[in-house]
Amino acid sequence: MAATKAMCRFLNHEKVTLPALIEPIQEAVREALQKSSADVVLLVHDWSMFAFNTHTSKLDRYRRSGVNDLGYDLGTALAVDAVDGRPLGAMEFRLRTANGLLSTRPTEVADTPAHVDELAGVMADSRRWNMGKQIIHIVDREADSVGHYRKWHASGHLLLVRAKDDRVIDWKGKPITLKALQAKLAGNFRDSPIDKLQIVETDTGVARVQVLETSVTLDRPAQTRIDGVKTRVSGPPLTLRLVLTRVVDELGVVKTQWLLLTNAPAKHDAHAISKWYTWRWRIESYHKLLKTAGMNAEEWQQESGEAFAKRMAIASMSCLTVWHLQQDDSPEAKKLKAMLIRLSGRQMKYQATDTAPALLAGLEKLLAVLDLLETHTIEEILTLARRVLPRVFNSA
């Protein structure tokens, strides 16, 4: 109870701010990047809704769509190592509540009508982070917008976005949809060289990743809303690299495919671009770790979005700890990971030595055990258990 009250006071204290709470994570990311051999860092952007339909004590719940779609909408910018795809830490949070947008940014953040509109501010602020490497901003199809492409490119930002297949582009002087272009070029896919061959697991076994690159131009007006009215806004033609990517199983069946648009320099070849996008899923795993697979954030009882966001920053430090532990191959770390997995009681896939959710669950139990051992010895605990539950804790 004392710990709960202390946490409540801490999260609601006016001098405890989101910008201060994110600083340790940002510094840890910068330290990790100094050790990375990559000349770029991947910054993955995504959003996740935390549902609080029954938490009526939260008076600032954001209504996303229907009456029963209440909660907080979290936007995250997650740094990922461009060499091996390991998550490094969240560089920024934005939490949408009924009262507006909360952020870890030290300056005021203006509310925006759509998710994708938030990214210009994140990209601009990312230059303040001193990451020491060029940033590649990676977003899913939600960011496939001609108007935003033009703004981001004009501001000097590098982007990698999964495009929608009905987008009309100019290819070799003629208009064509990306879906039609993909079909037209399907026969040109070739397996990657051995040193760049990507192998992935699918529901039917292993598969290989094939890539193909061409140049396309976006020259059509952008669709945007001005004073609530949908308007077509013309802009300069923008030439981007289109990286066609598909996953093919051993029988030649295409399991999935992506249309990737980027303005990354040519020194980063199509194979690197393709691999970078596959690592976008790290942010999905991160949000899952905060929700059902680890922190169970949708069960938190904080009564305001600000307190919830502060606790989210603290919880992210635990995620960071687990990710660092996963990367540690020292004998001591391997032994500790085995102990944490055993404590967690989690089941994993065959031959998997550990997972972030299992390590996080084991770490939580280890901390609880250590807290108990501060007031009771092992002998006291076992003696009491054997007397009260002799059938379970047999002294023999």
One digit per residue, the tens of pLDDT, for the chain of length 396 reads: 888 899 999 999 999 999 999 999 999 999 999 999 999 999 999 999 999 999 889 999 999 887 788 999 999 999 999 999 999 999 999 999 999 999 999 988 888 888 999 999 999 999 999 999 999 999 999 999 999 999 999 999 999 999 999 999 999 999 999 999 999 998 888 877 776 777 777 666 788 888 999 999 999 998 877 666 778 889 999 999 999 999 888 888 888 899 999 999 999 999 999 999 999 999 999 999 998 878 899 999 999 999 999 999 999 998 889 998 988 999 999 999 999 999 998 888 877 888 899 999 999 999 999 999 999 999 999 999 999 998 888 755
214: Cβ contacts below 8 Å, ≥ 6 apart: 171, 181, 185, 241, 242, 244
Residue 202's pLDDT is: 67
Contact between residue 143 and residue 75 where contact means Cβ atoms under 8 Å apart: no
Residue 136's pLDDT is: 98
Angle 321-324-328 from CA coordinates, rounded to 5°? 135
What's the predicted TM-score (pTM) here? 0.91
Task: Take residue 14 and report the two structure tokens written for it.
Answer: 């006016």
Residue 204's pLDDT is: 66
Contact between residue 245 and residue 210 where contact means Cβ atoms under 8 Å apart: yes
CB atoms < 10 A from the CB of 308, how many? 25
DSSP secondary-structure letter at 164? Answer: P
Contact between residue 159 and residue 149 where contact means Cβ atoms under 8 Å apart: yes
Residue 223's pLDDT is: 81
State CA 254 to chain mean position distance. Answer: 26
Residue 312's pLDDT is: 93
Residue 69's pLDDT is: 86
Residue 230's pLDDT is: 78
Helix 2-11 vs helix 305-327: crossing angle, to nearest 10 = 110
Distance between CA atoms of 294 and 286, rounded to whole angstroms? 10
70: Cβ contacts below 8 Å, ≥ 6 apart: 51, 52, 53, 61, 62, 63, 64
Residue 227's pLDDT is: 67
CA distances from 298 to 70, 135, 353 (A): 12, 32, 28
Distance between CA atoms of 38 and 81, rounded to whole angstroms? 8
Residue 208's pLDDT is: 86
Contact between residue 53 and residue 255 where contact means Cβ atoms under 8 Å apart: no
Long-range interactions of 294-302: CB distance < 8 A, separation 24+: 294/319, 294/356, 294/357, 294/360, 294/361, 295/319, 295/360, 297/50, 298/50, 298/51, 298/52, 298/71, 301/55, 301/57, 302/11, 302/58
SS3 84: coil
Q: Which pairing describes strands 168-171 and 238-249: parallel, antiparallel, or unpaired?
A: unpaired
Distance between CA atoms of 239 and 159, rounded to whole angstroms? 13
Residue 78's pLDDT is: 97
Domain positions in the chain are: 328-388
Length, in residues, of the chain: 396
Residue 274's pLDDT is: 93
Distance between CA atoms of 185 and 212, rounded to whole angstroms? 8
Q: What is the helix, strand, coil percentage profile of the chain, to 5?
A: 40, 30, 35
Distance between CA atoms of 147 and 120, rounded to whole angstroms? 12
Distance between CA atoms of 377 and 138, rounded to whole angstroms? 51
Distance between CA atoms of 214 and 241, rounded to whole angstroms? 6
